[in-house]
Amino acid sequence: EVQLVESGGGMVQPGGSLRLSCAASGFTFSMSAMSWVRQAPGKGPEWVSVINYSGGSTYYADSVKGRFTISRDISKNTLYLEMNSLKPENTALYYCVRGRADYVRELRSLAWGQGTQGTVSS
């Protein structure tokens, strides 16, 4: 079955950085678009970024453009999210998602990981 395991979360001060990783298995990683979705406390899921199957095309939510970078290492079946210049409002549980979370009508139709917590606080 599809397995997505996020790691790399933690607590940083405002302006700091975190690098999240997602280890993927159970499907052909090289043929799947991948996304990052986050959920802040008390709020609904928010799409953050998406990358195409090859890594050649990336897209970002307006709120993170210029600060976050999505990438993938096909040989390692691993997805990454580099988060820089972090703000307290970026505090959320960050999920790795198989597919185009920016496009599908129903997010629950996609495979999600368990999430990794990113906390930005002074």
Q: What is the pLDDT along the chain (122 residues), one digit of tens a residue?
A: 999 999 999 999 999 999 999 999 999 999 999 999 999 999 999 999 999 999 999 999 999 999 999 999 999 999 999 999 999 999 999 999 999 999 999 999 999 999 999 999 99
Distance CA 53, CA 6 (A): 19
What pLDDT is recorded for position 20? 98
| Strand arrangement, sheet containing 92-98 | 10-12, 116-120, 92-98, 34-39, 46-51, 58-60
What pLDDT is recorded for position 51? 98
What pLDDT is recorded for position 106? 92
Say which DSSP state 29 is in.
G
What pLDDT is recorded for position 68? 98
What pLDDT is recorded for position 46? 96
What pLDDT is recorded for position 122? 92
What pLDDT is recorded for position 1? 94
